[in-house]
C-alpha cells in the first residue's frame, strides 16, 4: 500500500479545520495512536469539546487571548476519508505554567585540576507562552506521501498568515520511549516515584491539560542523570519509533532538539523562532489566475511543488499544488480546491518532496 500512496496524485489531499461531523474519524485516529503520541483525548465528549473550542478559535473576531487551540484534519478526498489530524495551541500552558526539563551540564573541578562534566535535568518554565504544535497523527499508509508534509507544514502557513495570534517562539513535544502496554523507562524512574501512577494513567489525566499539576509536584532541584537507572538515562531525548516522521519534518524546518525534554517520558521538545522556520520564511502571497499563463504549469506540466493555503481564517484550507518556475500565479484548478475564485489571494511556500523515495525532503 505504501508504494501506491507514494505515487498518489497530490491533488487528492485537503487540510482544513475539524468540524463537528468529523467526530467519528477523529475518535478513530485518537484511539489508533500509541501511548503519548498525540495530545488528543480518547474520550468522545472531550473530543467534541475540543472540536467546538477549535471552531470558536477559527471564527472569533475577538483579540486573541493565548488560550486558543486550532484543530485540523487531513482528507483523502479520492476515498472520502479523514486520514490525519494536527493542531496548534496558541500559547503553551494557556495561562498556566508549561513545564519541561532543560538539559544542563555542571562541571566539577578537583584540586588536582581534573574536571568532571555532570549531566543534569533542570525543571523549568522556559517554554511557557510559546506557540505549541500538537495532535499530529497520520495513518501509517500515508506517512511517505506528500500528505504528511501538508498535515505538518500546513500549520506553519496558518501561523505565517495570522502571526498576531501566535507567539514569536514555537515548540513541539515529541513522544519518548514507551512500549505497547505503556511501560516508560523515564517515567518509572522519576514520575512514578512521586505520583504512584503508571505512565498510561498519567497520560490520561494530563491529556487536554497543561501538565502544570505534574510539574508543580516534581522536585525543583536538579535531577542528576547519573543517579538514574541505565534504561532511564538512555531514554532521555530518545524518540518513540512512530514519532520519527513528524520529528524529521520539524528538524528540516529548523527546529532545535537539544535543549528540552518532556517531564513525562523525556522525549525531545523542539523549539525555534517562528520567523526562522523554512516554511514561514519562504512563504509569500500569490494570486489566482483564471487560466494557466506564461510560467504557470498546466496539470501534468513541470513545475515546483508548493504548499498553498487560503488567507481567511474562518474558511482556512491548505493543499499541495504546482507553481511555474518563473511565475508566482496560482492556477484556477488549485484555487478551486481552496474554495477561492479568480484573483483571490493564496499563501504559498515551496516544498521539496521527491515521491517514492521513502521519506520527506524540505
Catalytically annotated residues: 240
Q: Which three cell numbers stand for residue 154?
A: 500546513
- Cα separation, 309 vs 306, in Å, equals 10
- Name the region of 254 (left: φ>0; alpha: ψ -120 to 50; beta: rest): left
Residue 281 CB burial class (10 angstroms; 0-12, 13-18, ≥19): middle
Q: Is 44 helix (H, G, I), strand (E, B) or coil?
A: helix
- Cα separation, 310 vs 320, in Å, equals 12
Distances (CA, A) of 312 to 16, 340, 347, 349: 12, 10, 10, 17
Q: Which three cell numbers stand for residue 213?
A: 499539576
Q: Where are the alpha helices (DSSP H) in 117-262?
A: 146-161, 185-189, 191-195, 199-206, 212-217, 230-235, 244-253
Dihedral sign, CA of 286, 164, 339, 283? Answer: positive
Q: Parallel, antiparallel, or unpaired: how do β-strands 100-109 and 256-261 relate?
A: antiparallel
Q: Which three cell numbers stand for residue 18?
A: 475539524
Phi first, then psi, for residue 197 (nearest 5°) are -110, 145
Residue 312 CB burial class (10 angstroms; 0-12, 13-18, ≥19): middle
- Count of positions (residues) in the chain: 362
Q: Which three cell numbers stand for residue 139?
A: 495513518
- Cα separation, 213 vs 197, in Å, equals 14
Query: Bridge-partner residues for 138, per DSSP?
Result: 84
Phi first, then psi, for residue 138 (nearest 5°) are -135, 140
Amino acid at each position: 500500500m505504501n508504494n501506491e500512496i507514494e505515487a498518489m496524485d497530490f491533488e487528492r489531499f485537503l487540510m482544513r479545520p475539524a468540524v463537528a461531523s468529523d467526530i467519528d474519524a477523529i475518535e478513530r485516529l485518537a484511539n489508533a495512536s500509541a501511548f503519548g503520541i498525540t495530545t488528543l483525548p480518547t474520550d468522545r465528549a472531550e473530543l467534541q469539546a475540543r472540536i467546538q473550542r477549535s471552531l470558536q478559535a477559527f471564527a472569533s473576531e475577538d483579540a486573541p487571548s493565548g488560550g486558543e487551540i486550532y484543530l485540523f484534519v487531513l482528507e483523502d478526498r479520492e476515498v472520502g476519508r479523514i486520514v490525519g489530524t494536527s493542531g496548534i495551541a496558541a500559547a503553551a500552558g494557556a495561562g498556566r505554567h508549561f513545564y519541561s526539563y532543560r538539559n544542563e551540564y555542571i562541571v566539577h573541578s578537583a584540586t588536582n585540576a581534573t574536571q568532571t562534566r555532570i549531566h543534569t535535568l533542570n525543571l523549568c518554565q522556559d517554554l511557557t507562552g510559546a506557540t505549541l504544535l500538537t495532535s499530529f497523527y497520520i495513518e501509517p499508509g500515508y506517512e511517505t506521501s506528500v500528505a504528511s508534509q501538508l498535515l505538518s507544514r500546513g500549520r506553519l502557513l496558518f501561523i505565517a498568515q495570522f502571526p498576531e495570534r501566535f507567539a514569536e517562539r514555537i515548540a513541539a513535544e515529541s513522544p519518548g520511549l514507551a512500549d505497547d502496554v505503556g511501560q516508560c523507562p523515564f517515567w518509572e524512574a522519576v514520575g512514578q516515584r512521586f505520583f504512584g501512577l503508571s505512565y498510561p494513567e498519567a497520560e490520561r489525566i494530563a491529556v487536554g491539560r497543561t501538565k502544570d499539576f505534574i510539574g508543580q509536584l516534581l522536585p525543583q532541584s536538579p535531577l542528576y542523570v547519573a543517579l538514574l537507572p541505565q534504561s532511564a538515562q538512555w531514554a532521555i531525548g530518545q524518540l518513540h519509533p512512530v514519532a520519527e516522521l513528524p520529528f524529521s519534518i520539524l528538524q528540516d524546518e529548523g527546529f532545535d532538539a537539544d535543549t528540552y525534554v518532556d517531564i513525562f517520558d523525556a522525549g525531545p521538545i523542539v523549539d525555534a523562532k517562528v520567523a526562522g522556520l523554512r516554511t514561514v520564511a519562504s512563504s509569500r502571497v500569490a494570486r489566482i489566475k483564471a487560466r494557466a499563463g506564461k510560467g504557470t504549469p498546466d496539470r501534468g506540466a513541470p513545475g515546483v511543488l508548493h504548499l498553498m493555503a487560503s488567507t481567511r481564517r474562518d474558511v482556512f484550507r491548505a493543499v499541495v499544488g504546482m507553481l511555474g518556475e518563473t511565475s508566482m500565479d496560482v492556477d484556477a484548478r488549485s484555487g478551486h480546491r481552496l474554495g477561492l475564485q479568480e484573483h483571490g489571494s493564496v499563501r504559498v511556500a515551496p516544498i521539496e518532496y521527491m515521491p517514492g523515495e521513502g521519506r520527506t525532503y524540505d
